[in-house]
Structure 1
Amino acid sequence: MTLIIEDGSGKPDAESYATAEDLAMYATKFGVVIPAGVAVQEALLRRAALAMDGMTWKGRKTRSEQALSWPRREIHLDGENKPHNYLPARIQYGQMALAAEIHQDDIDPVEKRKGAVVRERVEGAVDREYAAIPSTSNRLLPAAPDRPSATQFADYLQTRGLFSIRV
């Protein structure tokens, strides 16, 4: 089934910002591993788009009935107000990066994964310890925050970078 691509008009049935062909070119350019079949690539792009819908973006959806989070209105970026049909290239690239990260999470064995950093000591050499991930867990761990998709999305998310919490 062919993906329905968002073109900036706020389609109510859009499923992705990128095509399987776009994802294949992205993988070639950046040397990431993706599955060979078009149907599986499209499924990865759909999963990435769903993950993106859970993110807190700047602005508001252009139309309440649009399927995906973008396009958005009330976006002020780089000193200018962006038009209501603005669809940043980094949203498309971020979706493709996220799709590649999801695929990597799918194919990595559980024992190879690392949990959150629970201890880090810097004194000459760096000593880092990761939380254990049980091999009995059936949950797919989300892509790590230091992956390329997070960099692509940074300017468009409500909260960017580090923030402090007053205790």
Structure 2
Amino acid sequence: MLVADPHSPDFNTYASVDDLRTFAAGRGYTIPSDDGECGQLLMQAMDYLEGKSWRGQRSHTSQPLSWPRTGVRFDGVDLPDDAIPQRLVDAQCRLAIEAQEIDLTPSVAGGVAVTMERVEGAVTVQYEPGTNKASPSFPWFYSALRGLVVGGNQIRIERG
């Protein structure tokens, strides 16, 4: 069961199924009609998000998820230490949509299975479909969460 209330001890998601439906409808994405399937996609997206490094610190050491956070500034404004940024909710929804097609957190990193190799003047290599277990890359992710997440070729500059 999804619990999107950060004040609940069972808090386990930033986005609700309704958030996912609104996000998908507004952008023309197709998602399952079953709420349970949508919930599973959102949990897969949460697993991906919880693997990231975030700016600031958790608001409470006992909170189950990385957000809400303190010490996060975006565009010169301190973000409230008790809120989940809408951009984070949207990112979870977008990842849930991606999870319909790919495994967001593959358990085995490595190459794909080669099914054929031939050398005759030029090299031909054929790979087994669906065997690439490398971590997925989402070009939109770091730009959508700019200022919230650490990474994506971002550097922190502070005046001492």
- TM-score scaled by length of structure 1: 0.69
**Structure 1 residue 3 and structure 2 residue 2: aligned?**
yes
Q: 1:94 aligns with which of 85, 91, 96?
A: 91
- Which of 1 and 2 has greater Rg? 2
Q: Do the aligned partners of residues 32 and 81 (structure 1) sit closer, same or farther apart at CA in structure 2, a change above 3 Å counting?
A: same
Contact kept, 8 Å, 1:48 with 1:98, in 2: the verdict is yes
Deviation string, structure 1 residues 80-138 (Cα, Å, up to 9, x no partner) = 222311321101001001111111226xxxxxxxx9xxxxxxxxxxxxxxxx8643638
Deviation string, structure 1 residues 6-29 (Cα, Å, up to 9, x no partner) = 34x4x4321111111211121111
- In structure 2, how many angstroms separate the alpha carbons of the residues matched to 1:98 and 1:136? 19
Q: Do the aligned partners of residues 84 and 157 (structure 1) sit closer, same or farther apart at CA in structure 2, a change above 3 Å counting?
A: same
Secondary structure of 1:97's counterpart equals helix
Contact kept, 8 Å, 2:73 with 2:147, in 1: the verdict is no
- In structure 2, how many angstroms separate the alpha carbons of the residues matched to 1:60 and 1:161? 21
Ranges of 4+ aligned residues in structure 1 off by more than 4 Å: none
Q: Which residue of 2 aligns with 1:152?
A: 144
**Structure 1 residue 70 and structure 2 residue 64: aligned?**
no
Q: Which amino acid aligns with 1:158?
A: V
Q: Which amino acid aligns with 2:97?
A: A
Q: Which amino acid aligns with 1:137?
A: T
- In structure 1, how many angstroms separate the alpha carbons of the residues matched to 2:129 and 2:65? 34
Q: Do the aligned partners of residues 38 and 136 (structure 1) sit closer, same or farther apart at CA in structure 2, a change above 3 Å counting?
A: closer
Pairwise CA RMSD of aligned residues? 2.6
Q: Which amino acid aligns with 2:147?
A: D
Count of residues paired in the alignment: 135
Q: Which amino acid aligns with 1:145?
A: F
- In structure 2, how many angstroms separate the alpha carbons of the residues matched to 1:33 and 1:145? 19
Deviation string, structure 1 residues 29-86 (Cα, Å, up to 9, x no partner) = 1112322210000011111111101000001111122111110011122112223113
Q: Which has the higher helix share?
A: 1
* Gap runs ≥5 in structure 1: 107-114, 116-131
**Structure 1 residue 15 and structure 2 residue 8: aligned?**
no
Q: Do the aligned partners of residues 133 and 18 (structure 1) sit closer, same or farther apart at CA in structure 2, a change above 3 Å counting?
A: farther
Q: Which amino acid aligns with 1:159?
A: G
Q: Do the aligned partners of residues 138 and 12 (structure 1) sit closer, same or farther apart at CA in structure 2, a change above 3 Å counting?
A: farther
- In structure 2, how many angstroms separate the alpha carbons of the residues matched to 1:95 and 1:36? 18
Q: Do the aligned partners of residues 57 and 28 (structure 1) sit closer, same or farther apart at CA in structure 2, a change above 3 Å counting?
A: same
- Identical aligned residues as a percent: 25
Q: Do the aligned partners of residues 136 and 49 (structure 1) sit closer, same or farther apart at CA in structure 2, a change above 3 Å counting?
A: closer
Q: Which amino acid aligns with 2:145?
A: F
